[in-house]
Structure 1
Amino acid sequence: MTTALPLTASQRVRETTNSLIRPLQRDLLSDRPHAVAALARLRRGAGKDTSQVPDLWGLIDIGPLHDRPQDGGRPFTEEQLTRAEDAVHTALTLWALHQQSRGHGMHQSGTHPAHHGLGAAVRRLMPPGEIAEPVRKRLVRAGTAPDLPQLAQRLRDLVLLLRGQDIPLDYALLAEQLYQWQAPGGRDTVRRAWGRSFHAHRGPQDTPQAGVPSPAASPEHDNTADKDAP
């Protein structure tokens, strides 16, 4: 008989985010008033720092982040807790923006990060077998964001594009990666994951693209203003 290992800090962020979004998404799709109201409040925080939207304080129960893990793992340090709270806040508010006016769940979790990550979702915005450079550059800009608030804003722009084409995203995985992104050396890890996810995705007519640069390795910036309205 084997004993399950305690969850890592980033895995706890992922599990907490999933446990928050799933029942809310279920109730929202059932048109329950409390979920509709919560979505509207959460949506206003998309792309913003937690401190800018005090209306969201207490809306979502992030108590599990503060509790001592029951699996024997270590509790968060104060610094880790701040990162975790910011990661969950960012993921939930982006999901709320993504879910607006959609008739099916925009949060879809999976067991294979490369197939359900941000890179794969962005790749689905493109025609099969082609690389849409303006869209790719938006992913690159997200990967090269200098801080979490700007990363959240650039992710917001991508989420608007995903919403326009009804492309779901694993927001629990995104929260885990946002937590990792804030840790020392974490940005490179997350950029690699997004780049790998982008290149791993295969649509019905996709074939491997020779010579296509990875978003993780591309430093260019796209300063074109986003024309999509929320």
Structure 2
Amino acid sequence: MTTVTAPASLPVRRRVAELTGRHVAALQQGYLADRPKAVAAVARLRRGAGRPAGDVPDLWDLVDTGPLHDTDDGARPLREAELVRAEGAVHVALTLWAVHQQSRNTGMHRRDTREDRRGLGAAIRSTMQHGEIDEPLRKRLVRAGTAPDLTGLAQRLRDIVTLLRSHGAQLDYALLAGQLYAWQWPGGPATVRAEWGRSFHAWRGDHAPDGSQPDTPDAP
């Protein structure tokens, strides 16, 4: 049996992240503006959280992964194994975002930057008391990365995302989608767990969970 090894996957991972980012940004804008079509789409996406993409026919016309098949930019066509993993990653990221966004009037997708950390580890760390580590919560993150397959990972991440929603903690879903793609390849779980760990330790509590500057006693 031939072992499927990871291709030079950075370009594919980037395409997955960018496609997810575009989808989430458009849906989030519509949801926050209370546009009926976007609100309905988010409700449909929530029903797919924790379930394989192929098991939710209702989302087939909603999650457009067509750009993954495009080669207009000169990129080579994706192999079947890449497409399956890419489409799964987009599906999981979008459905998790829909769970996260439910009943929130602030966008729960926020891009991760060097100045404003919004990776999964940082998002979890932001829910903890300053200077303290919530070990049970940290272990949830570690456990998520040891899931047996993408569906199991999605289910474990759904529990984490529900917690983030309750705290108003934002997350970069484009970044997460790229990590979900990488996670599915041999050696991927260890790589992604390391990224989550670095993100966890990169959080410095410089911002409140909703992205604003935290209040201080002498704030105007």
TM normalised by structure 1 equals 0.82
The one-character-per-residue Cα deviations of 1:98-138 (angstroms, maximum 9, x if unpaired) are 00000010011133499221000010111100001111111
The answer as to 2:34 corresponding to 1:24 is no
More off after superposition, 60-69 vs 113-122: 113-122
Give the match for residue 198 of structure 2: 196
1:149 aligned partner, one-letter code: T
Preserved contact between residue 29 and residue 104 of structure 1 (Cα < 8 Å)? yes
Alignment of structure 1 residues 56-135 onto 2, 5 Å: 56-70=59-73, 72-112=74-114, 115-135=117-137
Distance, in Å, in 1 between the alignment partners of 2:53 and 2:152 is 13
Give the match for residue 13 of structure 1: 16
1:138 aligned partner, one-letter code: R
- Residues matched between the structures, number: 198
Distance, in Å, in 1 between the alignment partners of 2:116 and 2:106 is 22
Gap regions ≥5 residues in structure 1:
1-6, 206-230
Gap regions ≥5 residues in structure 2:
1-9, 208-220
Preserved contact between residue 114 and residue 120 of structure 1 (Cα < 8 Å)? no
CA drift of 1:42 comes to: 0.2
Distance, in Å, in 2 between the alignment partners of 1:39 and 1:157 is 18
CA drift of 1:51 comes to: 2.3
The answer as to 2:183 corresponding to 1:177 is no
Distance, in Å, in 2 between the alignment partners of 1:73 and 1:63 is 14
TM normalised by structure 2 equals 0.86
SS state of the match for residue 35, structure 1? Answer: helix
Give the match for residue 37 of structure 2: 34
Q: Which of 138, 141, 164 is the equivalent residue of 2:140?
A: 138
1:22 aligned partner, one-letter code: A
Give the match for residue 47 of structure 1: 50
CA drift of 1:69 comes to: 4.5
CA drift of 1:68 comes to: 1.1
Shift in alpha-carbon separation, 1:20–1:113, aligned structure 2, 3 A: farther
More off after superposition, 53-62 vs 15-24: 53-62
2:36 aligned partner, one-letter code: P
- Identity, % of aligned positions: 63
Distance, in Å, in 2 between the alignment partners of 1:75 and 1:21 is 24
More off after superposition, 42-51 vs 96-105: 42-51
Distance, in Å, in 1 between the alignment partners of 2:46 and 2:140 is 21
Over 3 Å off, 4+ runs: 111-114
Distance, in Å, in 2 between the alignment partners of 1:24 and 1:184 is 32
Shift in alpha-carbon separation, 1:84–1:63, aligned structure 2, 3 A: same
Give the match for residue 160 of structure 1: 162
Preserved contact between residue 113 and residue 197 of structure 1 (Cα < 8 Å)? no
